[in-house]
Structure 1
Amino acid sequence: MTFISHVTVHHPKLALTPTIEAVPTVTIKVVPTSGTDPETGMFFFLVESETGEFESFEDALDEDGTVEESEKVADHGDTRIYRICYTPETKLLTPKTTEVGGLMLEAETVRQGWLLRLQLPDRESLSRLWDYCREEDISFELDRLYQQESLTADGKALTDAQRRTLLRAFEAGYFEEPRQTSHKLLAEQLDISATAVGGRIRRGTARLIETTLVSDE
């Protein structure tokens, strides 16, 4: 059993906060396949801008007190990847998350701060992370918290098979009234058994309800 926590954090010295505030129209995401050990000194970010404000973004990086150096490493039009090295004074939550036994699954800019999706082993680890943020004067808002019996590689609620089956069922009218398809027809399309279709739909629907509708107090 693990916990998935969605939290929003903000502090003037958190990584890239000055840039986030200076150019709020761009979206910045941590590249999840890059190294997360702060001792390496370099981190990779995916930056998206529908309005092409990359010049303003790069100007903001030059003035950002949390950035020691930056380099554009890929350009795909409205999406770019940057490699960034932080200054020693920059506040980072990744080391503390690792210390309490957790993983940072996703990090994306939101509301002039960071929206984080964390995998944590228990409520105690969340409490320790919360206490750390309070000691460091980091704003910490818990947006969602739910349990998971098991995890996919990216920590998301649905397996690829469940997601694929639910989407195919939805597209084929399985959830319409009257129902426009059956387990047997879906099984033929997905090349699995009708029993497997029923199990994926049942378990997938239960997981979606648990992670989106059930309040975990």
Structure 2
Amino acid sequence: MSLIAIVDIAHPDLALTPTIRERPDASIEVIPHSTTDPETGLFFFLVEGTDETFDDALDRDHTVANWTLVDDLGSTRIYRLQHTDETKLISPTTTELGGLMLKAESNDRGWTVRLHLPDRDAIATLWEFCEETDISFELHRMFRQNEWSNGLTPKLTDEQQAALVSAYEDGYFEEPRETSLEELADQLDISPTAVGGRIRRGTGKLVEMTLLED
């Protein structure tokens, strides 16, 4: 029976890690369909909470061979990237094992990924691959596919939990609101757009966890 695994991965040469560490104010998410074909060499990323200065970080990132801005919606941007040969990736190995990367979001050190894998052997093989290539592999949660279908979803990231708890405690969800995104941003030391993105994605995960039956 297939499994869902929630894993934190980290390494200085993992895709976009230099940019993630240089720009912790930005929230980066892989657009997942692009990771299902490791032969293309092209990956798409959704970036929230940033502006054109993010491009400078990409120029300095040794994991980025070239990049193209696909769409600019102000504080939300979509990029198409091609990585350098020395960039470390787990998506090709995941695909070779018969798995799929369902989601990948940046965290303070690297990436939090949600993987669909056929069995425990595949997870063990992926862990061995990461061990051999010095990629930090921290398994947070693993559950069977039928449990996933019954509404058990992965826990919130630390950043999403911090944003939601701060918003709740400071009255962001009250009517009328007792705080603003700008005030929460000052408290969390990130941009208002990043706060809004974390609240939105965290709320979405809570809805999946508590309200959806299928």
Q: What interval of TM-score do these two structures reach, taking the shorter chain for normalisation?
A: 0.5 to 0.7
Structure 2 residue 7 is matched with structure 1 residue 7: yes
In structure 1, the partner of 2:86 is 89
**2:97 aligned to 91, 95, 100, which one?**
100
What RMSD in Å do the two structures reach over aligned CA positions?
A: 2.2
In structure 1, the partner of 2:114 is 117
Any runs of at least 4 consecutive aligned residues in structure 1 with deviations exceeding 4 A, and if so which? 155-158
In structure 1, list runs of 5 or more residues that go unmatched.
159-206, 210-217
Percentage of matched positions with identical amino acids: 53
Deviation digits for residues 135-184 of structure 1 (CA, Å, limit 9, x no counterpart) = 000000001111122876xx9758xxxxxxxxxxxxxxxxxxxxxxxxxx
How far is the alpha carbon of 1:41 from its aligned partner? 1.9
How far is the alpha carbon of 1:36 from its aligned partner? 3.1
Instruction: Choose 113-122 or 24-33, whichever is displaced more.
Output: 24-33
Summarize the alignment of residues 132-151 of structure 1 with structure 2, pairs less than 5 Å apart: 132-149=129-146
Deviation digits for residues 47-71 of structure 1 (CA, Å, limit 9, x no counterpart) = 000xxx3233211100100000011
In structure 2, the partner of 1:77 is 74
- TM-score, normalised to structure 2, is 0.67
Decide whether the 8 Å contact of 1:2 with 1:150 is kept in 2. no
How far is the alpha carbon of 1:208 from its aligned partner? 5.0
In structure 2, the partner of 1:67 is 64
Label 1:143 to 1:122 Cα distance change in 2 as closer, same or farther (>3 A): same
Decide whether the 8 Å contact of 1:148 with 1:157 is kept in 2. no
Amino acid at match of 2:77: R
Label 1:83 to 1:208 Cα distance change in 2 as closer, same or farther (>3 A): closer
In structure 2, list runs of 5 or more residues that go unmatched.
154-207
Decide whether the 8 Å contact of 2:35 with 2:91 is kept in 1. no
In structure 2, the partner of 1:19 is 19
Number of aligned residue pairs: give it: 156
Structure showing greater radius of gyration is 1
Rounded to whole Å, the distance in 2 between the matches of 1:122 and 1:4 is 9
Matched residue SS, 2:125: helix
Decide whether the 8 Å contact of 2:35 with 2:101 is kept in 1. no
Decide whether the 8 Å contact of 1:9 with 1:141 is kept in 2. yes
Summarize the alignment of residues 188-199 of structure 1 with structure 2, pairs less than 5 Å apart: none
